[in-house]
Amino acid sequence: MDSRTDHRFDSRGAGITVQRALELPGLRSGLPEVLAGADRLHRTVRWVHAGEVPHIASLLKGGELLLTTGYGLGTRPAEQRAFVRTLAERGIAALVVELGPRFTRLPAALVDTARSAGLPLVQLHREVPFVTVTEEIHTEIVNGHYALLQQAEEVHGQCTRALLDGGGVPQVLGILADFSGNPVFLETTDGRLLYAAGAGPEGADPLQVWEGLRGRHKDAPTAGSVLVDVPGGGPGTGSVRARLVLLPVRAPLAPVHRMAAERAAGILAVVLMQARQEEELAARGRGDFLTDLAEGRIAAEDAPAQARVLGFKPGADPLLPVVMRLGDTFAPGGGWAVLARAVAEELASVGVPVLLGVRPVEGRVPVLLGLRSESERSAVADRVAAALRAGVERAGMQRPGGRPPVVVVGVAGGWAAASAGLRHAAETAAAAQGLSDRPWYDARRLDIDLLLWRLRDHPDLAAFVDRAIGPVQDHDDRSKPPLLPTLETYLAHAGRKAETARELHLNRQTLYNRLARIGELLGTDLDDPQTVLALSLALRARRLVP
């Protein structure tokens, strides 16, 4: 049975139609005559109520077929008109009046008001047992709901068979689109489109429909859309992995379509979970290969063959090692599989062979790229760093306002150089945490930071920092303006006062006064090379000690 063509049920699938109720034996035996609302017999009858009290409208919720012998309608035309208007405002499906002792024919005031209010009004010329009518209609409604459940279960079965035959998300969405006669979409929780199926009006591509209705489908009650969450994260977690969206752009959507979508959402959750597990395993496998290469567990001469198995075929071109480190302040987002997919999609635009892995334990994303020549190292590094950061943002793993991930680029060369370069970049990425943000760091220029990072837990490093810049730190804790930023900028510009003053937006005399105060606090000459070296090291080590 197809709810789109079976007129026994209303277009929403929530009950039977008034027309169908009049065709059942109970009401048919009463010789029903439609006096008003003949064009509205497709209305939904979701329940049947019988009553004879004037205020019966207050007992109804809407959608009822009201049976009465007319004793509650009132004797005056004004009362009868008010009675009908109140029922129409309540939204009942139809008013059925049995002729007999109260009325031998329905009053004109009653009929005219029903017509003007658009309320189906039916008179029965023979007496009928109201209890029989109620039982028949309620049975029909229950049977209709069961039929809808059967339809939804059939769709569920089709989706299951599609998966057993090797299908995936597109096939499941296609089955839903065929069943609903409308386009179907799978989107992320933040509204990014993942998959689409079905056609829009006049055969339009579903992506055109999506672009045209972007965001508006979220107002499901007014737009008539069906939105169903696809669960994720395991039983009892309440988390949502994606959202299934059915848009009524070709035909209205019925409750049976929501039922089918809810059953399909469970299947999609399993498919996405399996795909994510497989994707994460593959990404971890590539990460393990790159880590084994970096740690020397894979010989340089054996690496190309193993890389080809993983789909990486750079030929004889130079290899560029890159490591991104997320740090400890990143949100879990959609997980490492989502991150790997997002980063891989961003890296596809770089235009070079890429081998991408993940190392969740260390919070690292190691990457190996094939270059055409070493001269393009800097240009490729720019594009790769931008792609890596964009992937992290897309995957939802960067907290709002948090520091972006650290990207470190190693030395380009052959497989032996790639092994050393990956190890060096991984260590340097950890050492670069807390440095001023740059799109990417050259591993060769962070060797001093790496050395200091390795000494971070040694008490001598903290003692050195305290001896070198402790008096200035104490000053900044007590007084303003702080002097450490001035010292850092001065050393970064190799003692060039004019450049330092411009960057700090100070006039020359103010800068001279601050530098003189720093020299006084430290008891040293800021022009002495050994002093400059010690201060530079202390400032770089400051972030590594408590």
Full DSSP string of 134-165: HHHHHHHHHHHHHHHHHHHHHHHHHHHHHHHT
Grade residue 515 by pLDDT with cuts at 50, 70 and 90. very high
The stretch 22-43 carries a mean pLDDT of: 93
> Based on C-alpha coordinates, what's the Rg of the chain?
37
The angle at the Cα of 420, spanning 418 to 423, to the nearest 5 degrees, equals: 105
Backbone angles phi, psi at 102, to 5 degrees: -80, -50
pLDDT above 80: residue 192: no
Fold of 16-139: 3.40.1390
- Asked whether residue 333 carries a pLDDT value surpassing 70, the answer given is no
Average pLDDT over residues 226-244: 72
CA separation for the pair 76, 13 (Å, rounded): 39
Which pLDDT score is estimated for 208? 66
Which class is 167-274 in CATH?
Answer: alpha beta
- Region of poorest pLDDT, from 156-160, 172-176, 201-205, 534-538: 201-205
Give the pLDDT mean for 7-32. Answer: 76
Q: What is the mean pLDDT of the chain?
A: 85
Q: 147-180, pLDDT tens digit by residue?
A: 777 878 888 888 888 888 777 788 888 898 888 8
Q: What is the CATH number of domain 459-544?
A: 1.10.10.2840
pLDDT value at position 183? 87
Taking residue 406's Cβ as centre, other Cβ atoms within 10 Å add up to: 25
- What is the b/e burial string over 482-518, where b = at least 16 CB atoms within 10 angstroms of the residue's CB? ebeebbbbbbebeeeeeebbeebebeeeebeebbeeb
Distance of CA 459 to the CA centre of its chain: 47
The conformational region for residue 351 under phi > 0 = left, psi -120 to 50 = alpha, else beta, is: left
Tokens 């809808």 found at: 148
Domain coordinates in residue numbering, the chain: 16-139, 167-274, 299-454, 459-544
Structure tokens at 194: 């993942």
> Which range among 136-150, 348-362, 420-434 shows the weakest confidence by mean pLDDT?
136-150
Host H or E run for residue 411: none
The per-residue pLDDT for 25 is 93
Query: Where does 51-111 show beta strands of DSSP type E?
Result: 64-68, 94-98
**What pLDDT does residue 9 have?**
43
pTM for the complete prediction?
0.52
The predicted structure's pLDDT at residue 268 = 85
CATH architecture label of 299-454: 2-Layer Sandwich (3.30)
Sheet holding 121-124, edge to edge: 32-36, 121-124, 94-98, 64-68, 47-50
Is residue 237's pLDDT more than 50? no
Instruction: Give the model's confidence band at 396: pLDDT under 50 very low, under 70 low, under 90 confident, else very high.
Output: confident
* Overall average pLDDT of the 431-452 stretch: 89
Torsional sign, CA 154, 157, 162, 163? positive
CB 60 within 8 A of CB 47: no
Mean pLDDT calculated for residue range 130-137: 90
The overall longest dimension of the chain from CA atoms, in Å, is 118
